[in-house]
């Protein structure tokens, strides 16, 4: 993530820029080449799916099933929304201490985008190979989005530098661009087939609901790139318009969202290593940009200049700095300790408080609490016994508002806000899913902790009188209005539509948070392909020996015997000082949970458990998980429902290791 406080340099060496622009444009000139026959076969193997349906964080609120779901925010919700907006305005700092916000100049948007996508045009030969490897994994629509950014960047440079237009063939003929990808076939028919196979199962699964007159479930496909799904629907003229019935349904009760279950399990954000998550973010940015292009959303990021950081050690401190300093006190923490304490207090004392979050606290008491927290929070002498839930809720909202940069980041705040202009619910969730993946680690962890608390507030609606609309309308201004970035949500007057649409984004984040914090299958497949191509990076240097080297590499690779019904895999166990291995008989129906059951059974009966004995003679079984390490992935914590035979076929070169579950990963 680039630094928002640093102004990028647009003045580059013209020969270097032209050479690199030529290389990128040459490669993207034939977008169909991103899918080779080998890649198509690999993808077909990787997306073998058991299309049984599973719901993800979409069941009705458990403890209030008989409460009616409001179709729209009521008058009290709307009044609370604008009251919160006025509170934020009155609580803002003087103009002299504000950040000056502006949109990036011509060319800056594209240059920053290319940097974040891992496609910076001012690099050496080694970095050019990395870019060629990345581009080789893109779909047709993703490659077209990259091409548009490069063309726009080229245009802006020509306007700035007054250079005459020249065709790329007259500048440089890139051998890397010519040999970046083997000859391929168009993968569009495969994409159609993948969507059709899942859609057939979807129709059969929800047909019963239609006959019974129930609300239709939404089917959420993650095997096909989100931008490719939008492209297919656009060609079929099935994207809903603003006056469609689907759009109006979003104003009522949110439907249940169902994901076809992947045989490789669900991959959550915390399951991947930092190296793989970096690649996920690059690919997510490209896919989100391509999707926004198709949906007609023009999203521009804002640049902010530095401002004086307050002397406070708790409020107004950059989130990353606060987490870093708190980790010196508690190494395992992933969100600020103050936020943890506030959320914990509110869960114990505030969930049953009527109007929690909406009822304001006492301003004199809040000022006293702020001073006491600054002086005694880290020393442990601060007492929460006399703090009221409403005052604590006010402190929580103030903590979020006082962050120097928005919790949703200055780069992506406008993108989050633009989601309200998308008509289709699934398209909204697609964009939100990609945006969550793009957030930096401290922001994403903090947002998840906040949303989990807000879900608990809604679950206690019967006692606290705060339903999903009420919580969403009161929290939306705190996330979407920030003094560092101008927002369209800050409109003078009680515009009902503005409040509803702002709250609707918040409502989606709360309702579907578990789904939004997963890594889509298509992104994980692209990461695997990216890692495979990186291990064969020498093919991207010289086209003359590329096919020979690929043949040698393919022949020498250990391939799984797909016709074999049973195989034995050696699983390594690493538990601190205890280290050993065990054999696991692999069948077509073996799951990761089966392997873990065998592990705990053998651990209990073998001598290896001696290292885990407590003083009283009992055995301490740590929180362990099965990890896939190496091959075409860095490190991947496996879902218990992962079918191991399919995993072996996808990554025969990877090792399986059982070890203690990491407290934080991949952000």
The three-state DSSP-derived secondary structure of 374-390 is HHHCCCCCCCCCCCCHH
Choose one of 519, 534, 564: the last residue of a domain: 519
- Residues 328 and 358 reside in one and the same domain: yes
Choose one of 478, 495, 519: the last residue of a domain: 519
- Comparing 27-31, 131-135, 257-261, 520-524, the range with the smallest average pLDDT is 27-31
Residue 602: per-residue pLDDT: 83
Residues in the chain: 667
- Residues 535 and 416 reside in one and the same domain: no
Residue 488: per-residue pLDDT: 55
If one compares 417 and 88, the residue with the highest pLDDT of the two is 417
If one compares 315 and 2, the residue with the highest pLDDT of the two is 315
Residue of 417, 550, 565, 385 lying closest to 481 (CA atoms): 417
What's the rounded Cα separation, in Å, for the pair 295 and 300? 15
Cβ(266)–Cβ(641) under 8 Å? yes
Report, as an integer, the average pLDDT of 579-603: 90
Whether 450 is covered by a domain: the verdict is: yes
Choose one of 504, 532, 551: the last residue of a domain: 551
What's the rounded Cα separation, in Å, for the pair 587 and 568? 9
What's the rounded Cα separation, in Å, for the pair 667 and 664? 8
- Residues 414 and 482 reside in one and the same domain: yes
- Residues 508 and 464 reside in one and the same domain: yes
- Residues 413 and 493 reside in one and the same domain: yes
- Residues 345 and 365 reside in one and the same domain: yes
Helix (H, G, I), strand (E, B) or coil at 30: coil
pLDDT at 244 over 50: no
pLDDT at 133 over 80: yes
Compute φ and ψ for 323, nearest 5 degrees.
-65, -40
Whether 368 is covered by a domain: the verdict is: yes
Whether 481 is covered by a domain: the verdict is: yes
Helix (H, G, I), strand (E, B) or coil at 414: helix
Q: Which H or E element spans position 602?
A: helix 592-605
pLDDT confidence band for 644 (50 / 70 / 90): very high
CA 666 vs CA 65, 134, 269, 446: distances in Å = 37, 19, 7, 15
Tokens of 125: 């030969």
What's the rounded Cα separation, in Å, for the pair 253 and 475? 19
End-to-end Cα distance, the chain: 12
Can you name the residues that pair with 658 across neighbouring β-strands?
573, 626
pLDDT, averaged across the chain: 76
Instruction: Measure CA 420 to chain center.
Output: 18
- Residues 542 and 424 reside in one and the same domain: no
If one compares 58 and 381, the residue with the highest pLDDT of the two is 381
- Residues 436 and 348 reside in one and the same domain: yes
Q: What are the percentages of helix, strand and coil residues in the chain, rounded to 5?
A: 55, 10, 35
Domain harbouring 376, CATH code: 1.10.555.10
Q: Across the chain, which distance is largest between two alpha carbons, in Å?
A: 82
Cβ(485)–Cβ(410) under 8 Å? yes
Whether 53 is covered by a domain: the verdict is: no
Whether 664 is covered by a domain: the verdict is: no
Strands in 510-577 per DSSP E? 567-575
Residue 518: per-residue pLDDT: 96
Residue 569: per-residue pLDDT: 86
Whether 363 is covered by a domain: the verdict is: yes
- Residues 398 and 422 reside in one and the same domain: yes
Report, as an integer, the average pLDDT of 641-650: 94
What's the rounded Cα separation, in Å, for the pair 220 and 59? 15
Boundaries of domain holding 509: 319-519
Count the domains in the chain: 2
Residue 110: per-residue pLDDT: 84
Whether 406 is covered by a domain: the verdict is: yes
Can you name the residues that pair with 582 across neighbouring β-strands?
571
- Residues 380 and 261 reside in one and the same domain: no
Neighbours of 428 (CB within 10 A): 20
Cβ(272)–Cβ(393) under 8 Å? no
Report, as an integer, the average pLDDT of 582-588: 91
- Residues 386 and 431 reside in one and the same domain: yes
pLDDT at 388 over 90: yes
Cβ(485)–Cβ(302) under 8 Å? yes
* pLDDT tens readout for residues 396-452: 999 999 999 999 998 998 899 899 889 899 999 999 999 999 999 999 999 999 999
Exposure on the CB side of residue 235, measured as CA atoms within 13 A: 8
Report, as an integer, the average pLDDT of 244-259: 62
Tokens of 360: 């304001």
CA quadruple 205, 211, 215, 216: dihedral, nearest 10: 30
pLDDT confidence band for 151 (50 / 70 / 90): confident
Tokens of 307: 């401002």
Residue 77: per-residue pLDDT: 76
Neighbours of 643 (CB within 10 A): 21
pLDDT at 18 over 70: no
Report, as an integer, the average pLDDT of 326-340: 94
Most confident of 95-109, 114-128, 327-341: 327-341
Q: Which long-range contacts (CB under 8 A, 24 or more apart) does 616-625 make?
A: 622/575, 622/660, 623/660, 623/661, 624/575, 624/596, 624/599, 624/658, 624/659, 624/660, 624/661, 625/596, 625/658, 625/659, 625/660, 625/661
pLDDT at 524 over 80: yes
* pLDDT tens readout for residues 441-481: 999 999 999 999 999 999 999 999 999 999 999 999 899 88
What's the rounded Cα separation, in Å, for the pair 126 and 181? 16
- Comparing 163-172, 189-198, 608-617, the range with the smallest average pLDDT is 163-172
Residue of 474, 483, 310, 502 lying closest to 393 (CA atoms): 474
Cβ(449)–Cβ(343) under 8 Å? yes
Whether 67 is covered by a domain: the verdict is: no
pLDDT at 283 over 50: yes
Helix (H, G, I), strand (E, B) or coil at 585: strand
- Residues 400 and 541 reside in one and the same domain: no
pLDDT confidence band for 301 (50 / 70 / 90): confident
Residue 643: per-residue pLDDT: 95
| Residue pointed to by tokens 């114990």 | 348
């Amino acid at each position: 993530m680039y630094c928002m406080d640093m102004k990028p340099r647009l003045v580059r060496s013209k020969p270097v820029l032209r050479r690199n622009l030529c290389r990128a444009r040459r490669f993207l000139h034939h977008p169909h080449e991103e899918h080779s026959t080998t890649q198509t076969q690999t993808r077909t193997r990787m997306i073998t799916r058991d299309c049984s349906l599973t719901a993800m964080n979409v069941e009705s609120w458990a403890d209030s099933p008989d409460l009616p779901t409001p179709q729209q925010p009521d008058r009290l919700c709307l009044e609370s929304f604008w009251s919160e907006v006025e509170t934020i305005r009155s609580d803002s700092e003087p103009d002299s201490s504000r950040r000056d916000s502006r949109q990036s100049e011509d060319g800056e948007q594209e240059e920053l985008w290319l940097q974040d996508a891992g496609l910076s045009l001012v690099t050496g030969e080694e970095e050019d190979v990395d870019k060629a490897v990345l581009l080789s994994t893109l779909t047709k629509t993703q490659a077209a989005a990259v091409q548009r950014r490069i063309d726009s960047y080229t245009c802006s440079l020509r306007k700035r530098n007054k250079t005459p237009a020249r065709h790329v063939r007259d500048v440089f003929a890139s051998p890397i661009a010519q040999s970046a990808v083997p000859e391929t076939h168009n993968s569009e028919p495969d994409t159609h087939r993948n969507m059709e196979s899942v859609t057939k199962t979807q129709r059969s699964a929800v047909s019963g609901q239609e006959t019974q007159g129930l609300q239709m479930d939404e089917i959420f496909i993650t095997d096909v790139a989100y931008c490719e799904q939008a492209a297919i629907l656009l060609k079929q003229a099935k994207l809903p318009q603003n006056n469609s019935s689907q759009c109006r349904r979003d104003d009522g009760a949110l439907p249940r969202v169902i994901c076809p279950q992947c045989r490789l399990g669900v991959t959550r954000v915390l399951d991947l290593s930092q190296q793989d998550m970096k690649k996920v973010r690059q690919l997510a940015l490209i896919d989100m940009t391509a999707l926004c292009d198709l949906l007609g959303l023009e999203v521009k990021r804002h640049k902010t200049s530095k401002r004086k950081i307050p002397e406070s050690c708790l409020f107004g401190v950059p989130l990353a700095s606060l987490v870093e300093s708190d980790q010196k006190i508690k190494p395992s923490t992933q969100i600020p300790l103050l936020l943890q304490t506030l959320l914990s207090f509110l869960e114990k004392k505030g969930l049953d408080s009527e109007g929690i979050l909406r009822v304001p606290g006492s301003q004199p008491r809040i000022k006293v609490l702020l001073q006491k927290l600054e002086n005694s929070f880290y020393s442990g002498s601060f007492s929460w016994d006399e703090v009221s839930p409403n005052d604590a809720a006010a402190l929580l909202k103030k903590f979020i508002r006082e962050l120097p940069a928005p919790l949703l980041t200055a780069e992506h705040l406008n993108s989050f806000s633009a989601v309200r202009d998308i008509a289709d619910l699934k398209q909204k969730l697609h964009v939100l899913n990609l945006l969550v993946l793009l957030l930096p680690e401290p922001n994403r962890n903090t947002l998840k902790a906040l949303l989990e608390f807000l879900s608990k507030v809604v679950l206690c609606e019967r006692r606290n009188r705060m339903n999903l609309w009420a919580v969403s309308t009161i929290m939306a201004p705190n996330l979407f209005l920030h003094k560092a970035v101008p927002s369209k949500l800050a409109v003078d007057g009680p515009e009902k539509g503005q409040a509803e649409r702002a709250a609707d984004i918040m409502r989606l984040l709360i309702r579907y948070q578990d789904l939004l914090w997963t890594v889509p299958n298509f992104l994980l497949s692209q990461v695997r392909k990216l890692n495979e191509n990186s291990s064969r990076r020498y093919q991207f240097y010289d086209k003359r020996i590329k096919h020979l080297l690929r043949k040698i590499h393919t022949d020498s690779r250990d391939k799984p015997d797909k016709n074999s019904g049973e195989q034995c895999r050696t699983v390594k166990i690493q538990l601190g000082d205890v280290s050993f291995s065990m054999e696991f008989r692999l069948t077509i129906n073996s799951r990761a949970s089966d392997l873990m059951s065998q592990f705990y059974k053998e651990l209990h009966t073998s001598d290896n458990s001696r290292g885990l004995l407590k003083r009283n003679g009992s055995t301490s079984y740590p929180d362990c998980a099965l990890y896939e390490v190496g091959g075409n992935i860095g490190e991947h914590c496996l879902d218990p429902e992962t079918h191991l035979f399919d995993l072996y076929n996808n990554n025969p070169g990877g090792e399986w290791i059982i070890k203690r579950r990491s407290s934080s990963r991949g952000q």
